[in-house]
Structure 1
Amino acid sequence: MAQVLVERPSGAIALVRLNRPEVRNALNLTIRQEMAAIFRDLADDTSLRCVVLTGNEQAFAAGADIADMSRIDAIEMYHRHTERLWAAVGECPVPVIAAVNGFALGGGLELAMHADIIVAGKSAQLGQPEVKVGIMPGAGGTQRLTRAVGKFRAMLMCLTGEIISAQEAFEMGLISRLVEDDAVLDTALKLAERIAALPPIAVAQIKEVILAGADAPLSTALALERKAVQVLFASRDKAEGMNAFLEKRKPTYTGE
């Protein structure tokens, strides 16, 4: 059976589901390869407007597969080039929403942080516990986490490996929206529907500028923002949105 499943709740939305429930969706090489292949295919789908990435009720992903990791050495780890597999998720051109229930630990939390929005259930547990097995976060956990919550909280989580509650993660800015456990996927899908109904070029430009600007000097990031706004003034969707607002009607966006 496939370790990653894909559904299309609508033509504009893809639901990508990790499917290793027997090991709480632990991320072995196969599941990462399947996920990367799916996201690469989705990137070429011009009808796609949003992706929801999830696991199951017990776990989003409980981390890397330790049994798999324990058998490999540094050279094999190098040759796997897993950074290319992760990049397929992080570089998805449309917004990605992580719908998190249960455990999001180690590589599971790193995977969630490759998304643009994180919706989590109140019982979810998050952490970077790699130090407890003699390694460290290696898929962005030291870097994305620091950018999300700041140096001192990231240091505490990575150096101790402690697991935090969804409430604590929400308070530190690591989670976008905190909901009841049984509402996680529905909330994520409704957010995806809202995004999918908006002008796709504007959505794409917002995502691109936020991500590119985060690592640029403020003056450079502001220049990127200005140029993106100027590009949008040439789109038909800009004219449609403003005319619809003035005419008090619902806009129809075409992505042009």
Structure 2
Amino acid sequence: MQADNQQGEVRMEIDGHVCIITVDNVRKKNAYSPEMMEQLARHLTAFEENDDLWVGILCSAGEHTTAGLDMPKFFGPNATAKPRPEAWVDPFGLKRRCTKPLIAVVQGITYTVGIEIMLACDIVVAADTARFGQLEAKRGIAPLGGAHFRYLTRTGWGNAMYHLFLCEEFDAQRARELGFVQEVVPFGQHLDRAKNLAERICACAPLGLRATKQAAMQFIDAAEQAAVACIPDIRAKVFASDDFKEGIQSFVERRAAVFTGR
């Protein structure tokens, strides 16, 4: 059910050792508000800190994963975004990361932060309806949630730059070819498939799984931290530009942006 206030919500339910976190803002194609991002971080933290929960599934209600951020609420003059506590798990995996297995489930429109949150998970199951797009540069901004380095680690330089520069849609099969997605299944079967994978993972020793993931994270941590350290500089350069203002205004007015490079 959609939240009563029609502002969207993120729910968590527990099925044995599996935690299912569901994003629900169907009325706005599951666009994230700052409040929803806070709820997501809270639930991921609760999952991480509960030793009885071994595998997490992150999914979205309805036909679409997410259209991205509700941009005026994050960047406009009436923005409501605020910093989250450092002790919470970061949905983008830029600060505190979840050390347990996380399966992302995607379908339909999966744009911008939807891809970045997906890539902060470990395994991705996509419905055959999934459509991906890293669209920030079309909106006068730049990816700030990890796309600038996770595209590289998943796909290599050429493929990463191809999709980051073009800012065009690509489908589920292309995402699987790139390594973003591990399985593509018919729409309607995607969540059940993720649950099946979670149950099979739960047949393994949870401490062994966590140790495996932590060792892998240790391997890539130095490079990722260097990339994370670049984000404030990216933000400072892009958010001070005329193109940023034009990108936000064009989004609000639902028209194509006209950028000047200033």
TM-score under structure 2 length normalisation: 0.75
Letter in 1 for 2:60: G
Corresponding residue of 1:183: 189
Corresponding residue of 1:27: 32
Corresponding residue of 2:61: 56
Q: Deviations over 1:20-57 (max 9, x none)?
A: 11111111211100111111112111100100000024
Asked whether the equivalents of residues 91 and 120 of structure 2 are also in contact (C-alpha less than 8 Å), the reply is no
Question: 1:127: how far off?
Answer: 1.6
Q: Cα gap change, 1:215/1:131 in structure 2, threshold over 3 Å: closer, same or farther?
A: same
Question: 1:215: how far off?
Answer: 4.3
Distance (whole Å) between structure 1 residues aligned to residue 99 and residue 220 of structure 2: 17
Q: Deviations over 1:204-249 (max 9, x none)?
A: 11111122213469xxxxxxxxxxxxxxxxxxxxxxxxxxxxxxxx
Asked whether the equivalents of residues 92 and 116 of structure 2 are also in contact (C-alpha less than 8 Å), the reply is no
Aligned residues between the structures: 213
Q: Deviations over 1:153-210 (max 9, x none)?
A: 1111111211100001101111011111111000000101111121111111111112
Distance (whole Å) between structure 1 residues aligned to residue 109 and residue 23 of structure 2: 13
Corresponding residue of 2:101: 95
Asked whether the equivalents of residues 86 and 139 of structure 1 are also in contact (C-alpha less than 8 Å), the reply is no
Question: 1:70: how far off?
Answer: 4.5
Matched, 1:197 2:203: yes
Corresponding residue of 1:167: 173
Structure 1 residues 225-236: aligned runs within 5 Å: none
Secondary structure of 2:148's aligned partner: coil
Matched, 1:80 2:82: yes
Structure 1 residues 66-145: aligned runs within 5 Å: 66-72=71-77, 80-81=82-83, 87=90, 90=93, 91-145=97-151
Question: 1:69: how far off?
Answer: 3.5
Runs of 4+ in 1 over 6 A off after TM superposition: none
> Can you give the 5+ residue segments of structure 1 that lack an aligned partner in the other structure?
218-256
Letter in 1 for 2:36: I
Distance (whole Å) between structure 1 residues aligned to residue 84 and residue 146 of structure 2: 11
Secondary structure of 1:87's aligned partner: coil
Identity, in percent, stands at 27
Q: Cα gap change, 1:152/1:107 in structure 2, threshold over 3 Å: closer, same or farther?
A: same
* Larger CA Rg, structure 1 vs 2: 1
Letter in 1 for 2:24: N
Q: Deviations over 1:71-96 (max 9, x none)?
A: 149xx79x834695662563122111
Q: Deviations over 1:69-128 (max 9, x none)?
A: 35149xx79x83469566256312211100111111001111111111000011101120
TM-score under structure 1 length normalisation: 0.77
RMSD: 2.2
> Can you give the 5+ residue segments of structure 2 that lack an aligned partner in the other structure?
224-262
Distance (whole Å) between structure 2 residues aligned to residue 87 and residue 69 of structure 1: 16
Corresponding residue of 1:65: 70
Corresponding residue of 2:246: none
Distance (whole Å) between structure 2 residues aligned to residue 160 and residue 107 of structure 1: 17
Corresponding residue of 1:15: 20
Q: Cα gap change, 1:83/1:130 in structure 2, threshold over 3 Å: closer, same or farther?
A: farther
Distance (whole Å) between structure 2 residues aligned to residue 201 and residue 70 of structure 1: 41
Q: Cα gap change, 1:141/1:86 in structure 2, threshold over 3 Å: closer, same or farther?
A: farther
Q: Which structure is higher in helix share?
A: 1
Secondary structure of 2:147's aligned partner: coil
